Amino acid sequence: MVNRTPVIAVIGAGIAGLEAARQLKDLGYKPVLIEKAPVVGGHVAEWNRLFPDLSPAADLVQSLSKGAGSVKTYTDTEIASMGRLKDGYSLILGNGETLLCDAVLFATGFHLFDASKKEEYGYGIYDRVITNRDLEQWFNNRHDPRVANPKAVGFVHCVGSRDVKAGNTQCSKVCCITAIKQAIEIKEEFPEAEVYCFYMDLRLFGKKYEDFYIKAQRDYGIHFIRGRVSEVGEAIDGRVVVKAEDTLNGKPIKVTLDLLVLMAGIVCNPDAQHYAREIGVAVDEDGFLRSRDNVSSIVESSRPGVFYAGACTGAKTIPETLAEARSAALTIHQYFNKRK
C-alpha cells in the first residue's frame, strides 16, 4: 500500500454514514461523505421523536453531524458513476470532480415504501389517509389540517412489507414499534380519540419495546386488532371506512375513522443497486446488498475494499445501524492493517 492516509468514500450521510465517518476519522483515516440530499441525517432528520424513550430525533442527528464535523462532506451531490481500479475505486461525482479512494462504504440506507402503490388503502386518493412520515412531519410543524382533532384514528401495520405483490417480502422491523409510538403520541395529543392498530403479527423484539407495548395497552387504552386491512373506502362526510377481519374473533370488522395512518415500510434503495452493479458487488433477491456472510460478516461485501453499514443490507433500527457503522469502521481498519 502507498504511504499515504487511505481515503474511504462513504456513500450516504444518514446516521450510518455520519457515525462511520466519525469512527474512521478517529482511527486515522480520511473518510469522504457523499450525500445526494441538501442536508445530512437521512430519514432520521425527518422524524420528530424516537422510540422507545421519545427522545428528539434532531438531538441525535445534531450530535452525529457534530462528530463528523471535520470530515470532508459533499451534500447535494449525486454519484455519476463508479469504477474499479487496481487497488481501489474511482467515483465521478455529479459536480464533475473525481474521487479516488482505497475503500468504499455503502451507507445508502433505504427508501420508504410508496404507499400510493397499495391503491386499496387510498393514499393519495382519500384526504384522510396519511403515512407515518406525514404524521412525523405534523409532529414537527403542526401544519397538516387533516390531523385536526380526530375522534378515531387507525394505524395500518405492514404497508408494503411482507407483501409479495408490493415487491417486498421482508419485514421492515421498525413499523410495529413506530405505530405504537405514534399511537401513544396521538393519545397524548388527543386523549379522547379512540386509536386502533391493525396488525398481522406484532414484532416487538428490541430493548424496551415490550414495555412500550404494555404502556400502549394499559396506560393509553389503544386497541389492537389482529387482522390486515383489506380495503379502505370514503364515507360521504369525508371520513374513511376501514375493513379488516378480526381474525381472533373470526368475524369481519369495520370502523369509520377521522384519520388513517399507513405504516409505510422499508424497501431497498435502487441507487445502491445501481452503484453495486457498477463495481461488481452482489445484490440479494430482495434488492438489498448481499453480505459476505449473513451471520459473521454482515458489514462486508464479497469484493475487497467494499463495506456496508446500516439499512443498505436490510431493515434496521437506529441502535443496530449505529452499531454496524462502528463495526464497519473497525472492519475497514483491519482491512488496511492486513494490506500493510
Among 46, 114, 127, 163, binds other proteins (CB under 8 A): 163
Candidates 59-67, 84-92, 238-246, 286-294 — which segment interacts with other proteins by CB under 8 A? 238-246
Tell whether residue 119 is a contact of other proteins (CB under 8 A). Answer: no
Element (H, E) at 216: helix 209-218
Alpha carbons 5 and 8: distance in angstroms, whole number: 10
Is 201 a binder of other proteins (CB under 8 A)?
A: yes
Q: Which stretch binds other proteins (CB under 8 A): 97-105, 184-192, 242-250, 259-267?
A: 242-250
* Cis status, amide bond into 150, omega within 30 of 0: no
* Number of residues lying near other proteins (CB under 8 A): 23
Question: Would you say 55 or 247 has its CB closer to other proteins?
Answer: 247
State phi, psi for 167 to the nearest 5 degrees: 80, 15
Question: By C-beta, is 163 or 189 nearer to other proteins?
Answer: 163
Residue 336 near residue 1, CB atoms below 8 Å: yes
Q: Would you count residue 230 as binding other proteins (CB under 8 A)?
A: yes
Q: Is 294 in the site for other proteins (CB under 8 A)?
A: no
The verdict on 63 binding other proteins (CB under 8 A) reads no
Which pairs count as long-range contacts for 129-132, CB under 8 Å and 24+ apart, including other chains? 129/232, 129/240, 129/260, 129/262, 130/259, 130/260, 130/261, 130/262, 131/159, 131/261, 131/262, 131/263, 131/264, 132/175, 132/178, 132/179, 132/182, 132/261, 132/262, 132/263, 132/264
Q: Which of 245, 271, 278, 320 binds other proteins (CB under 8 A)?
A: 245
Nearest approach, Cβ of residue 159 and other proteins (Å): 10
Binding site for other proteins (CB under 8 A): 120, 158, 162-166, 200-201, 226-231, 243-247, 250, 252-253
